[in-house]
């Protein structure tokens, strides 16, 4: 039989932090004081809720190969500049960045490098793989409660990473869903990191209201890779 002290010890061993019993704060003199584990737990929650896989977590600025192509060098330094200036511009209208270019130009890598760096500093980022999310939202659009809750995540995330915007066939329903997300974020000054194979003109041609909002929000960080170049996925 375990004695009283052993049982007491076992009950504490169930907690990851025995100081606060996983509450993230400690009560002293009727005052809630943040526990030293709070920052770590919040970062863990950010990663868990981001939707970014362990493989994508490996995409960083340090392992991005930018040294062989002038356009890639420019994209790298704009991404780095955005990351460094993020906290100064987060609440402004021009608080976003967009990477436009052909397949394999390193758009997703740089988008994830920014996102991973922001999450490491405690900024919540939500990953939105465009095609998968659009299909899921359309399949559940008749379930109003589910749809509102699902799309609300993308509308209200502190930072939204949209990967491969307008990839594949584009229907009116696709445009309406994207506009709902973009429009909300536009009027609430919520930052976005966007990657797309489309050009400025193509984005506006698909939908002027959506394209113009994205471009205005990314005005200071427009990254475009044009013409024939090496495929980053193969040679990066």
The confidence score (pLDDT) of residue 12 equals 44
* pLDDT level of residue 155 (50, 70, 90 thresholds): very high
Cβ 179 vs Cβ 145: under 8 Å: no
Q: What's the longest Cα–Cα distance across the chain?
A: 76
pLDDT at 168 over 70: yes
- For range 204-225, the mean pLDDT: 95
Cα separations in angstroms, 98 against 79, 203, 224: 9, 11, 8
Mean pLDDT over each residue of the chain, to the nearest integer: 84
Per-residue pLDDT tens for 32-55? 887 776 655 665 565 566 667 677
Measured CA to CA, the distance from residue 165 to residue 185 in angstroms comes to 15
The confidence score (pLDDT) of residue 230 equals 44
Strand, helix or coil for residue 50: helix
pLDDT at 227 over 70: no
DSSP 4-20: HHHHHHHHHHTSS-TTT
DSSP 160: E
Measured CA to CA, the distance from residue 117 to residue 74 in angstroms comes to 19
Per-residue pLDDT tens for 184-202? 999 999 999 999 999 999 9
Cβ 192 vs Cβ 185: under 8 Å: yes
DSSP 90-128: TTSSS--EEEEESTTSSHHHHHHHHHHHHHHTT--EEEE
- For range 157-177, the mean pLDDT: 95
Ranges of H-type helices in the chain = 4-13, 38-50, 70-89, 107-120, 130-139, 144-156, 172-187, 200-206, 208-217, 232-235
All structural domains of the chain, each given as residue ranges with its CATH number in brackets, are 4-36 (no CATH), 49-235 (3.40.50.300)
Per-residue pLDDT tens for 84-118? 999 999 999 999 999 998 776 788 899 999 999 99
């Amino acid at each position: 039989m375990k004695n009283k002290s052993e049982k007491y010890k076992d009950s504490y061993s169930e907690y990851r932090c025995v100081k606060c019993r996983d509450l993230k704060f400690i009560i002293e003199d009727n005052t809630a004081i943040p526990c030293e584990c709070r920052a770590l737990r919040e970062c863990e929650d950010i990663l868990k809720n981001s939707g970014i896989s362990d493989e994508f977590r490996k995409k960083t600025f340090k392992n991005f190969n930018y040294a062989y192509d002038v356009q890639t060098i420019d994209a790298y330094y704009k991404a780095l500049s955005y990351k460094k200036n993020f906290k100064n511009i987060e609440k402004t209208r021009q608080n976003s960045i967009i990477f436009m270019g052909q397949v394999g130009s390193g758009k997703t890598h740089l988008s994830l490098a920014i996102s991973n760096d922001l999450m490491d500093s405690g900024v919540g980022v939500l990953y939105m793989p465009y095609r998968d999310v659009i299909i899921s939202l359309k399949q559940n659009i008749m379930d109003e409660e589910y749809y509102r809750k699902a799309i609300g995540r993308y509308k209200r995330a502190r930072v939204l990473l949209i990967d491969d915007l307008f990839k594949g066939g584009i229907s009116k329903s696709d445009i309406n869903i994207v506009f709902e997300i973009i429009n909300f974020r536009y009027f609430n000054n919520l930052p976005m990191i966007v990657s797309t194979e489309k050009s400025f003109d193509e984005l506006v041609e698909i939908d002027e209201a959506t394209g113009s909002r994205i471009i205005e929000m990314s005005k200071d960080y427009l990254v475009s890779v044009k013409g024939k170049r090496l495929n980053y996925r193969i040679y990066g």
